[in-house]
Structure 1
């Protein structure tokens, strides 16, 4: 193997050394200032002329503030100036495959947690060239890394892209979608121009892109905190419901009204309303005690189809089963696509969820963050993978305190008629 950047022979190096060599060519990215076991590292801002020292958790907001500096430039100056956008992620060296298998192997050794994972997804991180504005593109690439391995979606994607699309290809395709009438409001807000610029994209652009490819993509809006201390337990519960109950077989969640979303390119806020879906239960299939609370009434699954009424168990049997499960974790290694998660200033990809067996309210999102560099993600392949997952992927309810979140989820294919109707991106489900 030779280095894709300098072409030097890397044959004698191990995989970690090869990765470190390639990454050395991108030496003006996020600089880790400590490497202890704390969950929140100190980093140095990579923005030219800044270099501020801050905690990793505040990096996205800090870079978001820098984005307004570039937004104030004349439009013809807001362009890529160094690394070409039209370069494959393999050449960039930004992709790490196999992480999901390592995460799955780790959780199989954990007895006191349930966990659910998406289908296999590659982690892709932002380079020095796109950090601060490219997270939406990088998360879209992660979604495509999964969908390209799914026969349901692969042919539709490969009709446009040879593989995981480059940032330039994503920009070009979103512009083509706009030209066909997709997301006209987003097109207007971004002045109909993405190619060659550093404009960031959000939920509406990602949804429009997928719909253009005949992939059904829906937006769920969590408009404000639903728990104490600005937390979002409803978001975590929704993610659990998605991974435990979603059946991607063309079934649909019937909403009585859908409302058009504003473009997420500038903010994630919205003043539109939709009627909440009734009958959307929060039963997890892995906890019998929790399931018992929903046995009294017929329920509807994630896509709104009438569910079978659960068979009511005797209370003693439920108690015994729940007690047994309280110390034995259960697993789902993944059949569903990951989720695109947006908040103001940053986006990430949800690849799974962990829930404590002893405390049903203790849940953790498992995230792929484009700001996490490859050398950190590679630690999941080492004996200390548990620590690596905790530091680089795992986020608790108390750690996610942004005012508003949006999720894009993939749900099968669109017919020609549905594709035409899907050109206006609307809120699919809203939690006020």
Structure 2
């Protein structure tokens, strides 16, 4: 069998591919990773799932002026190291695999919009545009892959709604990669010195690992393509002050990757502690939903508005809390008793089956228990959100984006 060398494109026998490719990187610390990618290329001819045709492979980012954000992150590297990094990127662009997901005819957000419009009573909803639901699979990522699935959902929105994002994301492939391919992209982001502190938690390796990730890794991955991914931390004044005294976090830094969201064995709490936590929870609920409502409302126009539902041009929100993460695609407000409005988050959960979501939304029966989450369910002490501002960063901004910081909202 004949294969192309991923480095020089010379046709060689597949059995000799590793030895040939090794000659390009003698005495190079990156040899092992390059060989793994070379093996993927060698298998591409026999694997129909691997996308390596000319219509999907754009080559190295540095050859495309539209990918200015990605190429500029090489600045300051030794020339040889930059070349190796570009070669890794070029290989991954050709070898990455499209994520398999169930497409919903008509679009899942159109079905949700129809359900919201059909509800009785007085309500007003703000929702994102197009998004695909990516579910966790028992055979692949059940129990640990929710973070990657939320990245896939957010990426599906960006690829559909933003021409700029489509040109730079995943080498311009135009599709959402599977989890192993996303893990490779995150490692490349770390190699570009994005989030060096966070990468140390994983010892700079994530490919093939069944490890939880969070908003920090989502922002790191998207920022490495030049996208302006932002993180917002919601934390109580008491718990934030306590963490600051212990030296565990700074007010302007995302904690990441999952430290403060992992379930720990804590001692029993007194009644006064429980009462204080209830008060914190109520404050946190209102601060969080107010922020989310204002976020989606700030991107709304009357172009696609109906009396009940308005489409926002804002990206969905990667929503992280203790033990799980989901994707917020909108928010609903109903007039409550007196002057108090009642808010409900509209979410897509990777833990739900896409088939169940489509069936209930299409029939308009039972969809609320899968999509709606009332404010009373928001009882965690901390939350993180990740969203993406429009535009592509220039070279100077790319350097700033390498440090993953956050906006801290205390309650």
Q: What TM-score bracket applies, with the shorter chain setting the length? A: 0.5 to 0.7
TM-score by length of structure 1 reads: 0.57
* Contact 1:89 1:95 (8 Å CA) reproduced: no
CA distance in structure 2 between the partners assigned to 1:380 and 1:87 by the alignment: 30
SS in 1 for 2:341: coil
CA distance in structure 1 between the partners assigned to 2:362 and 2:174 by the alignment: 32
* Contact 1:94 1:126 (8 Å CA) reproduced: no
SS in 2 for 1:362: strand
Candidates 347, 354, 362, aligned match of 1:382: 362
- RMSD between aligned residues: 2.5
* Contact 2:232 2:409 (8 Å CA) reproduced: yes
SS in 2 for 1:195: coil
Seen in structure 2, the aligned counterparts of structure 1 residues 429 and 96 have a Cα distance that, compared at 3 Å, is farther
* Residue 244 of structure 1 pairs with residue 297 of structure 2: yes
CA distance in structure 2 between the partners assigned to 1:120 and 1:410 by the alignment: 15
1:168-214 Cα distance to aligned partner (Å, 9 max, x none): 11100110000111001111011111001111111111001111011
Seen in structure 2, the aligned counterparts of structure 1 residues 386 and 363 have a Cα distance that, compared at 3 Å, is farther
CA distance in structure 1 between the partners assigned to 2:170 and 2:186 by the alignment: 16
* Residue 99 of structure 1 pairs with residue 150 of structure 2: no
CA distance in structure 2 between the partners assigned to 1:247 and 1:182 by the alignment: 32
1:386 Cα deviation from its structure 2 partner: 4.8
* Contact 2:123 2:333 (8 Å CA) reproduced: yes
Candidates 167, 191, 198, aligned match of 1:186: 198
Look up the match of 1:366. 346
Seen in structure 2, the aligned counterparts of structure 1 residues 374 and 113 have a Cα distance that, compared at 3 Å, is same
1:399 Cα deviation from its structure 2 partner: 0.9
* Contact 2:167 2:174 (8 Å CA) reproduced: no
Look up the match of 1:398. 376
* Contact 2:159 2:174 (8 Å CA) reproduced: no
* Residue 114 of structure 1 pairs with residue 124 of structure 2: yes
Look up the match of 2:26. none
Between Structure 1 and Structure 2, which shows a larger proportion of helix residues?
Answer: 2
SS in 1 for 2:406: strand
Seen in structure 2, the aligned counterparts of structure 1 residues 154 and 394 have a Cα distance that, compared at 3 Å, is same
CA distance in structure 1 between the partners assigned to 2:278 and 2:307 by the alignment: 26
Seen in structure 2, the aligned counterparts of structure 1 residues 216 and 247 have a Cα distance that, compared at 3 Å, is farther
SS in 1 for 2:295: helix
1:152-171 Cα distance to aligned partner (Å, 9 max, x none): 32111152544111101110
Seen in structure 2, the aligned counterparts of structure 1 residues 355 and 428 have a Cα distance that, compared at 3 Å, is same
TM-score by length of structure 2 reads: 0.60
SS in 1 for 2:385: strand
* Residue 230 of structure 1 pairs with residue 281 of structure 2: yes
Aligned residues: 266
* Residue 424 of structure 1 pairs with residue 403 of structure 2: yes
* Residue 337 of structure 1 pairs with residue 346 of structure 2: no
Seen in structure 2, the aligned counterparts of structure 1 residues 329 and 400 have a Cα distance that, compared at 3 Å, is farther
* Contact 1:102 1:380 (8 Å CA) reproduced: no
* Contact 2:330 2:346 (8 Å CA) reproduced: yes
1:117-148 Cα distance to aligned partner (Å, 9 max, x none): 01111111100120111000000000011000
